[in-house]
Structure 1
Amino acid sequence: MKDLGRLKYFLGIEVLRSKKGIFISQKKYTLDFLAEAGILDCKPAETPMAVNHGLQIVKGAELADRGKYQRLVGKLIYLSHTRPDIAYAIGVVSQFMHQPQADHMEAALRIMRYLKGTFDYGVLFRKPGHLEIQAYTDADWAGNPVDRKSTAGYFASVGGNLVSWRSKKQKVVALSSA
């Protein structure tokens, strides 16, 4: 074994230390991903997904290249380790992995365009003066227009530092939002 010093870069995740705390991001991974996709020169999107997107599988719609779509969404899922701001959008586009259509590919590419303008975002872990645990959750009641299932999300912080987040479509149809 060999001591390589303080961690700086590991599996595509950059670790920066400062007096404020520890900042983790995937800046290089994101830029390489955008270059590989050939959209490094694209116009950035202001949000990762359109409001009230209404994405669903439409019979007879144009299909997207499934292999390309799955690789794209897989890399986006890996990016969500340091990007809680794209968790919901990735959760939506990952629902169509088995039969991606042109609209789904457009939504995934919009996330990429959002990343173009926010490639240097990440998560900052500050040195807290306390270890208070806070958690927040929300759900859109019957938000999926096809199966009427809700999408729930949460995030948790310790000492004001984000430590866990998730967005997921619920397995059953909710009869209320309470």
Structure 2
Amino acid sequence: MKDLGNLKYFLRIEVLRSKRGIFISQKKYVLDLLTETGMIDCKPIDTPLMMNHELQIIEGADPTDQTLYQKLVGKLIYLSHTRPDLAYAAGVVSRFMHKPHKHHLEAVYKILRYLKKTPGRGVMFEKHGHLDLHAFTDADWGGYRDSRKSTSGYFTLVGGNLVTWKSKRQKVDAMSSAEAEFRGIAKGITEVLWIRKLLTELGYAPKKSYKL
């Protein structure tokens, strides 16, 4: 084995160290993606996806290049490994990879315009003197218009630092907003229990209750 020193760049993920802590991002990956798609000089926007976007499969709508669409969405999904702000938007556009239309591709390009404004965003890890675990969950109700399924999401903080996050469509139809929320809470609890077990195996067994 050979000591290569502190990690700086791995699988297109940049690792920056300072007195404040460790910052991970994919700025170069974002700039390369914008250059590759011809969006490097595009007009930036403030949000990756409009609220109540109403994206769905519309019969008779103009189709688009499926290979191009799948390639771009795949890159956005990989980018969401260091960009929690893209998790929901990437999840939405990935629903149409089997049958993309032009309005779906337009939504992808809007995400690229958002990236033009925020190329250097990432995740910061700082020392806060504790390993308290907090988790937050949320869910919509019937937001997926093609099947009326709901979308739930969660993120977890360990020691005040963001460590996991996820946004995913629920597998069954929720009969009420309360049911959709409870299913989202169940996913959050599952993640908390997994992190709790992992911390215990690493020698940092929890000393108090976790908050959801």
TM bucket, shorter chain: over 0.9
* 1:45-56 to 2 correspondences below 5 Å: 45-56=45-56
Provide the residue aligned with 1:120 in structure 2.
120
Query: Structure 1 residue 45: deviation in Å?
Result: 1.2
- Separation in structure 2 between the aligned mates of residue 8 and residue 21 of structure 1, nearest angstrom: 14
Provide the residue aligned with 1:137 in structure 2.
137
Length-normalised TM-score, structure 1: 0.98
Confirm or deny that 1:102 pairs with 2:102: yes
What 5-or-longer segments of structure 2 have no aligned partner?
A: 179-212
Provide the residue aligned with 2:164 in structure 1.
164
- Separation in structure 1 between the aligned mates of residue 22 and residue 38 of structure 2, nearest angstrom: 31
- Separation in structure 2 between the aligned mates of residue 50 and residue 143 of structure 1, nearest angstrom: 13
Name the structure, 1 or 2, with higher relative contact order (CA <8 Å, separation 6+). 1
Code of the aligned partner of 1:19:
K
- Separation in structure 1 between the aligned mates of residue 45 and residue 77 of structure 2, nearest angstrom: 19
- Separation in structure 1 between the aligned mates of residue 25 and residue 97 of structure 2, nearest angstrom: 26
Query: Structure 1 residue 128: deviation in Å?
Result: 1.9
Provide the residue aligned with 1:75 in structure 2.
75
SS at 1:7 equivalent: coil
SS at 1:87 equivalent: helix
SS at 1:111 equivalent: helix
Q: Any idea what the Cα deviations from partners look like across 1:55-80, whole Å, max 9, x if unmatched?
A: 00000000010000000000000000
Number of residue-to-residue matches in the alignment:
178
Q: Hey, which of these two has a bigger chunk of strand by percent? A: 1
In terms of Rg, which structure is larger? 2
Cα RMSD of the aligned pairs, angstroms, is 0.7
User: What is the aligned-residue identity percentage?
Assistant: 66
* Displaced runs of 4 or more, over 3 A: none
Query: Structure 1 residue 143: deviation in Å?
Result: 1.2
* 1:6-45 to 2 correspondences below 5 Å: 6-45=6-45
Q: Hey, which of these two has a bigger chunk of helix by percent? A: 2
Length-normalised TM-score, structure 2: 0.83
Query: Structure 1 residue 108: deviation in Å?
Result: 0.6
